[in-house]
Amino acid sequence: MAARRPDDVERSNFLTLGYLRPEVHRLIVKEKLRAFGWSSPDVIQIGDSSGFYGVNSDLVTSHLDGLHYVNLSCCAPMGFDGYYAVAHFMLRRDPSIKAVVLYIGAFNFVSTHPDVSFAEPLQNSFDSLRSYVMPPSLALREEILKAVYGPSRMPSANPELEHKLGFIRDHNGWLAEDDIRLSGKALDDYWRTQCGPERLIVWHDLDRRIFDKIAGLAALTAGYNAKLILMVQPLPCPFAGETFATAVRGLDRLRSVYPNLVVAPADVFFSLPTDMFSSFPHLRIGGEITNSQRVALAIAQALGRPVRQSGDARAGRESTFPIADRNTPLTWSDDRFSEPVWRTDGARIVRSGEETRITELNSLGRHGVGTKVERIEPDVPYIVSAVVKPDPNRVFWLEVLDTTQPDNYGRAFFDIDAQTSVRFGDAVDVDIETLPEGWFRCWLSMRFRGTSMTMNLLIGTKSALEYVGDGTSSIAIRKAALRPGARLNAND
Amino acid sequence: MTFNSYVFLFVFLPSVIAVYSLLRETRYVNWFLAAASLMFYGFAGPIYLVPLLFTCVFDYIIGQLIDPDRRNEYRKSLFILSLVVQLGLLATLKYAGWLAGVVNNVAPWFGLAVSLPALSLILPPGISFYTFHTISYTTDIYWGKFKPHNRLIDYVTFVAFFPQLVAGPIARASNLLPQLAAKRPPITWAQAESATWLICWGLYKKIVLADNFGQLTALIGDRLTPGDVQGGMGLLFAYAFAGQIYCDFSAYTDIARGVAKLFNVELIRNFATPYFAASPADFWRRWHISLWRLVRSYLYDPMVVRALRKRAARGLPISSEALSSPVPLLTVFVWPTLLTMSLLGLWHGAGFGFVVFGLYHGVLLVAYRVFHIEENIIRFLGRRLGTVVAIVLMFHLVCLGWILFRASDPQLFPAFASIGALMSGRVMEWPLLRDFGYGLILYGLPLFLTEPFAFRKGKEFVDLYDDWSWPAKTLAYIFVFYGIVMLGAREQSEFIYFRF
């Protein structure tokens, strides 16, 4: 074994690297510390997934004149002790950090997260004496285990996860929201459960331990002459109850003890329309644009710095999020699904009046149809949609590939029965719209780097695109379309 | 505080050894050992010290009173009182909640409107073990095999001795108490080396093998769903758990023996290559040896002797030939075997699954005896091949029992159905077989290499260390160290037998 000098992150024992055991959260935290631990940021963000998805580092940086912002948030299982460990790790390395943004979901005020499964490992690995005494050979642990397990059995052996980690590295720690998308009745039921039948959040039991945790972080940052800026994720429904006012008073008391503590906004809690959220703690993709501006403004005010308002241009076109509607002209559409325009893969096309049915064959492999669409504009988000009616024992997959750059792809599956959709790869947004007569419009949006793309409409299961077909399962399909936009808000 | 925790290895144990060394020749040494043991146990929760100390003191007093030399006319009643109190305490803390649930569910079948409260009592760690320690003390005194000890502190040290308190080996008073009561010389370098190896090998088995087998068991268990019966998945589940429970439990014993050796105390072996057993009787002579010996001495043998005496009193023959006919076989062998094994199963936990597990092994014991299975295999296939086949068969029968032990209720049917599917030619999907199979081979390889070797030597692998050359010992330590550092499971998990 050649000797090599590992850095503090590589030599840590943080990843369990268990055989066949995925550990997405730990990989994200470790990747962030590895990528940004020595990047000399001016402002860092810690906290749970509400900030991980909800604050676009590049947008914040673009609004702050000359200040570099890094998003080190991940997930609630880190716990406040985990947030502390990350903050301390960064502050020790770069005492010139001017501010730490603690961006948390409002739920933290009523319950510390029941699962804080890796707060202690985080502390042990990055914020304790143990981290200094780990033997150097541990740095090679990942490579050795890759050789012993085989690369495909490592926790990180997942193309989608690799894709996400690459996105995180490229966007200073931010990850575009990718919750399972609910629609129709499933969505209604979800919000009824989360916000109550009246769609009004009423909380009664304030968990006062949060004040101790915030005080600890304020003391830590004060020791490094940095500000602690506390920001709470907006709530997805209107709210009521004494808990909120009590929390605000508690924070006011803390501010009087810790002059470096800034709470933005001062009244802490506010709500936004429900449709801006993908789940209770997460803003839906697109919502991070204004939210990031809000964060930048709070930082600028706390540090007495100017705010650059024209952030969109500086941040690049990634920050725009056009909404398509019934008036948006289609770039392309097809309702014939005939060869040779459409090629078949493990399927046969049967036309019956207005309806086209794609039926899977008894073969192993993919089952569906595909076509190529030319003359699209590069770097512009497009919505790819199909109106379908699949079999109950199958889900519908929509896949789009940049023809000139195969690593630029988007994929989503749509479980019509459960009214859920999940996106993968570079897909920006995804959803299911319910149409009359049992039809559904399934769409995903994506930005293509090239000028042509391939669209595949596939039958599959929730976990597999390639399998042995049964010869009978099928989807009925009415129309495939392409139009500019990042989100589709209306039927056409 | 578990044996594989940093606190135990780097703080508690070194501190206790250091102070013990200073006090070793004084009369306070057992006061210190008892205090350290109680502190070790109380780490889990000071409340747990209450039943432990009660059990200790109560049976110490009873032991004094039932000494045959005292000729106390209430000896028998006091002894029975001790059994009732100790087993009652164990039953209350361990089984009351479960029994209440059973009664509530069964009562309506008999038209009874019963609703017992659903008790949820905290189970003190190791209560099954230390209760048996004290029962062995009073029982041996009652039977005149052992004299009551006159120093309470020595007795408390015996019951609470921290290396074996929570998960055995279950020490008989006649074996351990004299060691603890006597003045012990300082350990030699050879003993220290042997102790260190026991601890290191135990840690390796726990952290590298048991915990990784455990994670594999959980992963495979997640695939045991009624809607997706994959041929053979239950067998892989059984193999993984067989690896886990053996490595976990034997690791605890190794560490316990090693730690005890540092105080110049010898604890008995608890395992002897159990997966090389050729019959159920052979298996139970190799698995959890201390429990089997205890249960055999205090439960099975008395039942058999009582049945034989009854037959003899009625003038019936008690030769082996006479006992092979159905009725005597039933009363002298089958009934004691099934009852003993059911109770042994129940000892492991409150649940019908454990009873069924015990009963299953009881049925195996009976079947092997009645049908002379091992002997017939060897007669049919020859000594060498027959022994191999008998061992492989017994291993798989044990694995089926492990499914009963480990699988949750929803997993049971898919586990056995998948084995049935395998027998009818359906194999699981190749990616699953490849990945799970590779994991089993990866973590099983150290066992495949060491266990046959130990079996042929008639010892446990850990005990072969003393015969090795120093290069071999050095290599062994390097292997163990890097195995733990590289392959060790990072999430600390409790020893399985802590729950019993």
Type of residue found at A31: E
CB contact under 8 A, A16 and B490: yes
The per-residue b/e assignment along A313-324, b for 16 or more CB within 10 angstroms, e otherwise, is eebeebbebeeb
Cβ neighbours of residue B324 closer than 8 Å, sequence gap 6 or more:
none
Which of A1, A19, A467 best probes binding to B when mutated, by most B CB atoms within 10 angstroms? A19
Both A399 and A266 in a single domain? no
| C-alpha–C-alpha distance, residues B146 and B69, integer Å | 11
Considering only the beta carbons, identify the residue of B435, B482, B487 that sits closest to A153.
B435
Tens digits of per-residue pLDDT, B426-435?
888 888 899 9
> Cβ contact (<8 Å) for A137 and B212?
no
Average pLDDT, chain A: 89
**A19 touches B at CB < 8 Å:** yes
Tell if the CB–CB gap between A18 and B212 is shorter than 8 Å: yes
CATH of residue A185's domain is 3.40.50
Residue in chain A closest to B220 (alpha carbons) equals A20
Could you give the number of structural domains in chain A?
2
Is the pLDDT at A315 greater than 80? The verdict is: no
Residue A462 or residue B23, greater confidence: B23
Q: How far apart are CA B341 and CA A59, in angstroms?
A: 69
Give dist(CA A308, CA A60) in Å, integer: 10
Supply the mean pLDDT for chain B.
89
pLDDT score at A327: 82
Q: A138 in contact with B at a CB cutoff of 8 Å?
A: yes
Do residue A21 and residue B215 have CB atoms under 8 angstroms apart? Answer: yes
Same domain, A236 and A361: no
**B487·A145 Cβ contact <8 A:** yes
**What's the gap in Å between the CA of A423 and the closest CA on chain B?**
24
Interface contact A149, partner B, CB < 8 A: yes
Instruction: Please list the helix, strand and coil fractions of chain A in percent, rounded to the nearest 5, in that order.
Output: 35, 25, 40
**Final residue of a domain: which of A319, A339, A374?**
A319
Domain check: are A42 and A178 in the same one? Answer: yes
Q: Quick one: pLDDT band at residue A154, thresholds 50, 70, 90?
A: confident
- Cβ-defined contacts of A270-274 (< 8 Å, 24+): A270/A234, A270/A235, A271/A201, A271/A234, A271/A235, A271/A236, A271/A237, A271/A238, A271/A239, A272/A234, A272/A235, A272/A236, A274/A191, A274/A195, A274/A199, A274/A236, A274/A237
d(CA B240, CA B222): 13
A34 touches chain B (CB under 8 A): no
**Residues in A touching B434 (Cβ below 8 Å):** none
The pLDDT value given to residue A65: 80
A137 close to B (CB below 8 A): yes
Taking the Cβ of residue A21 and every Cβ of chain B, the question of whether any pair is shorter than 8 Å is answered with yes
Examine the pLDDT at A319 and tell me if it is beyond 60. Answer: no
What is the spatial distance between Cα A10 and Cα B216, in angstroms, rounded to a whole number?
Answer: 26
Looking at the fold, whether A159 and A85 belong to one and the same domain comes out as: yes
Of the pLDDT bands very low, low, confident and very high (cuts 50, 70, 90), residue A2 is very low
Q: Give the distance from residue B195's alpha carbon to the nearest chain A alpha carbon, in angstroms.
A: 25
Residue in B438, B439, B486 closest to A141 by CB: B486
Q: Do residues A298 and A358 both lie within one domain? A: no
Structure tokens at B59: 């049976």
Q: Which residues of A touch B489 (CB under 8 A)?
A: 16, 18
A266 shares a domain with A191: yes
Identify whether A12 is part of a domain: no
Predicted local confidence at residue A80, as pLDDT? 93
Phi and psi at residue B299, to the nearest 5°: -125, -60
Q: Is residue A9 part of a domain?
A: no
Q: How far apart are CA B101 and CA B103, in angstroms?
A: 5
Is the domain of A314 the same as that of A335?
A: no
B216 and A145 within 8 Å at the Cβ level: the answer is no
Q: From chain A, pick out residues whose CB is under 8 angstroms from the CB of B438.
A: 149-150, 153
Q: Is the CA virtual torsion B140, B143, B149, B155 positive or negative?
A: positive
Asked whether the beta carbons of residue A18 and residue B215 sit closer than 8 angstroms, the reply is: yes
- H/E stretch holding A409 reads strand A409-415
Which residue among B215, B442, B485 sits closest to A138, beta carbon to beta carbon? B485
pLDDT higher than 90, residue A250:
yes
Residues of A in contact with B439 (CB under 8 A): 19-20, 153
pTM: 0.85
Comparing CA positions, the residue from A207, A277, A198 lying closest to residue A235 is A277
The phi, psi pair for A391, rounded to 5°, reads -70, 150
**A150: chain B residues, CB-CB within 8 Å:** 438
| DSSP character string of A283-331 | EPTTHHHHHHHHHHHHHHHHHT--B-S-HHHHH-GGG--PEE-TTSPPS
Taking an 8 Å cut-off on Cβ atoms, the answer to whether A15 and B490 are in contact is yes
Whether A348 and A243 map to the same domain: the answer is no
Last residue of a domain, one of A290, A319, A348: A319
Is A15 contained in some domain? no
Domain-located, residue A3:
no
DSSP string, B127-149: HHHHHHHHHHHHHHHHTTSSPPP
Structural domain ending residue among the three candidates A297, A319, A341: A319
- Assigned domain for A438 exists: yes
pLDDT greater than 90 at residue A292: yes
CA atoms of A184 and A196, how far apart (whole Å): 17
Nearest CA among A14, A8, A84 for reference residue A46: A84
Q: What is the CATH number of the domain that holds A394?
A: 2.60.120.260
Contact status of A13 with chain B (Cβ, < 8 Å): yes
Q: Is A141 on the interface with B (CB under 8 A)?
A: yes
Facing B219 at nearest CB: one of A20, A121, A145 = A20
Angstroms from A153 CA to nearest CA on chain B: 8
Chain A residue whose CA is closest to B429: A467
**Nearest Cα residue in chain B from A144:** B486
Q: Per this entry, what is the length of chain A?
A: 492
**A19 → closest Cβ in B215, B486, B491:** B215
State the pLDDT at residue B7: 85
B442 to A138: CB separation less than 8 angstroms, yes or no: no
> What's the confidence (pLDDT) of residue A351?
85
Assigned domain for A14 exists? no
Interval A168-182 mean pLDDT: 95
CB atoms B487 and A18 under 8 Å: no
Point out the residue among A19, A141, A144 whose CB comes nearest to the CB of B216.
Answer: A19
Question: Alpha-carbon distance B15 to B164, whole Å?
Answer: 18
Chain A residues with beta carbon closer than 8 angstroms to that of B215: 18-19, 21
Nearest-CA neighbor of B496 among B249, B225, B195?
Answer: B249
- Whether residue A136 lies within 8 A of chain B, CB to CB, comes out as no
> Are A115 and A256 part of one and the same domain?
yes
Instruction: Give the CA dihedral B360, B365, B367, B373, nearest 10 degrees.
Output: 130
Do A374 and A315 belong to one domain?
A: no
Looking at chain B, the whole-number percentage of residues with pLDDT higher than 90 is 57
Q: Residue A354: what pLDDT?
A: 73
The residue segments making up the domain with residue A476 are 323-486
**CA of B323, closest CA in chain A: separation in Å?**
53
In-domain check, residue A214: yes
- The DSSP bridge partners found for residue A384 are A444, A482
Determine, yes or no, domain membership for A109: yes
Residue A218 pLDDT > 70: yes
Residues A232 and A330 in one domain: no
pLDDT tens-digit profile, chain B (500 residues): 788 888 898 899 999 999 999 998 888 999 999 999 999 999 888 989 999 999 999 999 999 999 888 777 888 899 999 999 998 888 888 888 888 888 888 888 888 777 777 666 778 888 888 998 899 999 999 988 888 888 899 999 999 999 988 888 998 888 899 999 888 888 899 999 999 999 999 999 999 999 999 999 999 999 898 877 788 899 999 999 999 999 999 999 999 999 999 999 999 999 999 999 999 999 999 999 999 999 999 999 999 999 888 888 888 877 777 777 777 888 889 999 999 999 999 888 888 888 999 999 999 999 999 899 999 999 999 999 999 999 999 999 999 999 999 998 889 889 998 998 888 888 888 888 999 999 999 999 999 999 999 999 988 999 999 889 999 999 999 999 999 988 988 876 777 776 66
A356 phi and psi, to 5 degrees? -110, 135
To the nearest 10°, the Cα dihedral for B493, B495, B496, B499?
Answer: -100
Say whether both A363 and A422 belong to one domain. Answer: yes
From B424's Cα to the closest Cα of chain A, the distance in A is 22
B216: nearest CA in chain A? Answer: A19
Across A313-331, average pLDDT: 70
pLDDT value at residue A492: 45
Taken as a whole, chain B contains a residue count of: 500
A17/B485 CB distance under 8 A: no
Which residue of chain A is at minimal alpha-carbon distance from B490?
A16
Mutate to test the interface with A, among B7, B211, B244, B486 (most CBs of A within 10 A): B486
In terms of pLDDT, which residue wins out, A100 or A11? A100
Q: How far is A141 from chain B (nearest CA, A)?
A: 6
What's residue A326's pLDDT? Answer: 77
* Predicted pLDDT of residue A5: 65
Please give the structure tokens belonging to residue A386: 């199909």
Rounded-to-integer distance, Cα B454 and Cα B439, Å: 23
At position A358, the amino acid (one-letter code) is I
Pick from A35-44, A255-264, B64-73: least confident? B64-73
Tell me whether 0.85 is exceeded by the ipTM: no
Alpha helices in A55-140 (DSSP H): 57-63, 79-93, 119-126, 130-133
Spatial separation of the C-alpha atoms in residues A355 and B380, rounded to whole Å: 70
**Calpha distance B421→B495 (Å, rounded):** 33
Residues of B within an 8 Å Cβ radius of A: 212, 215-216, 219, 435, 438-439, 442, 482, 485-487, 489-491
Q: Is the Cβ–Cβ distance between A328 and A99 less than 8 Å? A: no
pLDDT for A458: 94
Please name the member of A13, A20, A138 whose beta carbon is closest to the beta carbon of B435: A20
